[in-house]
Structure formats: C-alpha cells, structure tokens
Structure 1
C-alpha cells in the first residue's frame, strides 16, 4: 500500500449530524480501491468530503505526500483529484462535445485536452457518435459514459466514482464495470463507491466495508468476495 492517497481518522457531518466516524483508508496507486456498503452508510459523504464539496470536521487527507485536508474543490481538481458524482449531473442543454470540453477547465487539463479527448472518444465510441447531440437527449447509460468522460477530461491522477451504475439497466451496468479496469491502464488511481458488491469486489484491488459511517472490515477484493459475513450481508448467501 502506497502513501499516494490516504485518509486518517476522518470525521464528517452536516451541522450537528455526524455521518463519518474516524474513517481511515489508503488508495492503491494505479488500482481500484472500493468502498462498499448499504444505502445510507456514508459512501457519498466520504467521496464528497475527499473532493472538497463537504467540509471535513477533523482528520487528515494526504495526496502525493501533501496535506490537502482543507483545500478547496477547485484546488483539488487542479491538483489532480476529480469526482464523478452520483446521478451523473451532466449539462442537458449542452452537446456531448461541449460537456466534455467543460471537464478540461483547469490549466493542467487544458494543456492536454486534445489528447485526452481522443482517449475518451476511443474509450466511449458512443460519445463520438453522439458528439453533436444534446446531453439531455442521451439514454441513462450514455449519460453515465458522458459523466465518466467529463471526469477524465480533467486529466486526474485520482478519480472518485460515486455509484456509477446506480439506476442503470443490468446490461449497461455490466458495460460500465467492464470499462472501469481500463481506467487504471491509463495510469489512473480509482476510488469506487458502489452498492453492487459482487461486481465491485470482482474488480477491486482492495476494498473497505463502510457501515454507519465507520470502516468495519477491509481486505483485497478477492478476499472480501469470499468472506462469509460479506456474502451473508450483501450477496444474500
């Protein structure tokens, strides 16, 4: 485990409501680190705090050996941390190409925007076909591809993915899970929060189980997939 990205004793909440209670984790550099748990476990709050959207109450976040705990979302994006939020949140009245170009807004990403756009179009051929189509007219699966592509346009070193298959038809969700390992082949490090435990653990290098805002179990994806407690709680057997 590297010190590329690590979280120590993270406490986060909304007002008086505490959501995360002393969460610590380390991302596998160049791999997929998963955070699994049921709805309401705190997965989205965790990712939102790591990208600067939700303020951190206490604890430390380190990225490439630097303390980034109190940095703004804009500085984190500029430094190489990008998030694809739950629900996709594309710009419906902008074309696919315009949505993608918006992702390259930070100076570091703008410098390589043409090369990144080419890589995104190769990874998602459907986006090339729909490049002049308005984002709001795409199917749910196509919108998720667009959201992923826009996240990649920020030229991240660390990509945070919050429930990328939520609400998608099983066939489309399968396509997304097939694509995710390809992201690490581009040199990306991925933190994936998902409710589809079986599929997530099958592609994760390492995983953490989040329950009621706290890490209760961790291990390799393969080990957790074979864990009796995980199978009983999340896989129904």
Structure 2
C-alpha cells in the first residue's frame, strides 16, 4: 500500500481511511512512524490527518501518547453497520406470539439514533424497508424512537419531514404534539401514515436502565387496527419477557 498525494477532498478521505485501516490491522499502540512507513506517506501529511482523526474521535491516543487506537466514533460505525443479534430464546418468544395472529409481528431495535430490523415476521415481510430505516417520523417504531430522543435530537434526513402518504405528519409542531402523547402513553401508533392501507402499533422494549432499546411492532391492514390494538396488553407482556433476553 503506498500513498498517492492529492489535494482533493476525495484524496483526503481516502488517506484517512487508509490510516484507520493500518491502525485496525496493527492494533492499539500503532505509532505514527509505523503508519507513515506502511503507507509511504509524508510525516507532515500523516500528522495532519492523525490530528483530525483524533479530534473527530475516530482515533484516540494511547495513555503513553506514543501510539494510536481506534476511537469511539469507529465503534459507533461498526455497531450501526452490524445487524442486531437476537438470541434464540427471544426469537422463540416472538414465534410463539405470532402463532394464530393474522397480522405481522416485527422486532425493531435502535442503535445510535437509528432504526434496525432485528426479527422480521417471515409470514408478513416488510415491504418498505428503506422508508422504515430512513423516515422515522412516519412509522410507529420510528416515532417511538423520536419520542425517546426528544425533538431536538430527531435524526431526520436534512431536517425534512418527508410525506410518504397523504396522511404523513409533516408539520413539526403536530409531530412534537404526537411525540409528547407517545411519551405519556409509552406506545406509538400510525394509521395510513407510513403506507396507505396499513397500520402499526409499537410498544417499547426497555434496557435495564429504562432507556429504549427496541420496539415490538404489530402491523396489519388499516381497517383491522382495532383488532391489532386488542392485542396490546399481550404484546406489552411479551416486551417484558423480551427485555432480559435482549439486553
């Protein structure tokens, strides 16, 4: 691997990634000299990029200040990119609950203020996965997460409330009113907001410290939401069973 000098933003990003790759390969304590030797990179360039990576917490200096290690920001990226792990016992509990129901039961987990699909109902698979991951203001699970985060921390793309259907809430004040109600009721729902003809109820699965870790989502036809909601109590009992299995 050799360094190719460039003044472009793309080149700078590439150099940063190469440095991170070397630190990941060599391990904690990788020195600046080891990095420059491995990449054949000018020391001045390496130090400039290293300082930027440390400032952004992609790297941290070791306690003796002689080397570097991967930082918190990298851990967050790896965590977000890795599919959630669902223990067998939790999957079994989900399967038992699904039996006899004519609606979908999904397990959604939350990582770094983002939605992740943990256990999708095999009989009623999700149709709009991209929208579920991208637009939390439109789905019941996403609203549950936003209510936990608070309006100021809402991870909305470009700060915009995208209208997925004619019923999607795109007014920030209305959304905040709904989030306040979700915090009060400790559950979220949507009817025809995420997909026309569809409705969903999301109940929180909480970690030992009380923070939101996942959501149990019951989804089905909009006209059958009353039937879906009738299972809310049983679903909430399931969330209590799932919590110690997941966290």
Structure number having the greater strand percentage: 1
Structure number having the greater helix percentage: 2
TM-score relative to the length of structure 2: 0.25
Larger radius of gyration: 2
